Amino acid sequence: MTGQVRIGILISGRGSNMVALVEAMQDGRVPNAQVAVVISDQLQAAGLAAARERGIETLPIERDGRKRVDHDREVVAALKERGVNLVCLAGYMRVLSSEFIAAFPNRILNIHPSLLPSFPGLDAQRQALAHGAKISGCTVHFVDETLDGGPIIAQRAVPVSEDDTVETLSARILAQEHDLYAEAVASLVKDDRRE
């Protein structure tokens, strides 16, 4: 792919990974890419205001009471209308339909707070502590139809301390997530430019 990479970020809540990606683009750390839109499936997501403050178009598309396929169709249409060619999930709490995945083949990324394939799904940090893991971390991966099971793009290890709580471990992992996500997108976009 040549030309500008247009990124659509999907969030459901706080949006700190989204902010990390937006700031990486705005600082020029991801040349040739820009965030075209931030979409939330939750009207109240705090990340919507954070995106607007950074001059990014936001679009709430509420999921409640709607079938996954109908909601996904509207999200895909909004992304396509804005010329989005790379989708980044950032705390997006809805599993994508196969139709959504087919609309962006190998162009949907997610960040997960564990070293996949360990601890997929919800509460990854709690799972790591419950298993007595000594090392956890975060993973950026392609999204396919499995739950957090798509091919891995980048990972970073984070040590687990004996006295960690879910909160302290999550905070230590989150700091690495922000860095890793921007780095992974930058390397993917760089590869795009060589094609």
Binding site for ligand GRF (CB under 6 A): 11, 13-17, 90-91, 111-113, 174, 177
Q: Which of 112, 131, 141, 178 is catalytic?
A: 112
Catalytic (active site) residue 112: yes
The beta-strand segments (E) located in the chain are 5-11, 33-40, 58-60, 86-89, 108-112, 135-142, 152-159
Least distance to ligand GRF from the beta carbon of 124, Å? 8
Residue 40: CB minimum distance to ligand GRF, A: 10
Comparing CB distances to ligand GRF, the nearer of 167 and 195 is 167
At position 23, the amino acid (one-letter code) is E
Q: Name the CA dihedral angle for 132, 133, 136, 140, rounded to a multiple of 10 degrees.
A: -100
Q: To the nearest whole angstrom, how small is the minimum distance from the Cβ of residue 170 to ligand GRF?
A: 7
- CB nearest ligand GRF: which residue? 91
The span from the CA of 16 to the CA of 87, in Å, is 16
- Alpha-carbon distance of 74 to 63, in angstroms, equals 10
Name which of 136 and 192 has its Cβ closer to ligand GRF: 136
**Residues that are catalytic:** 112
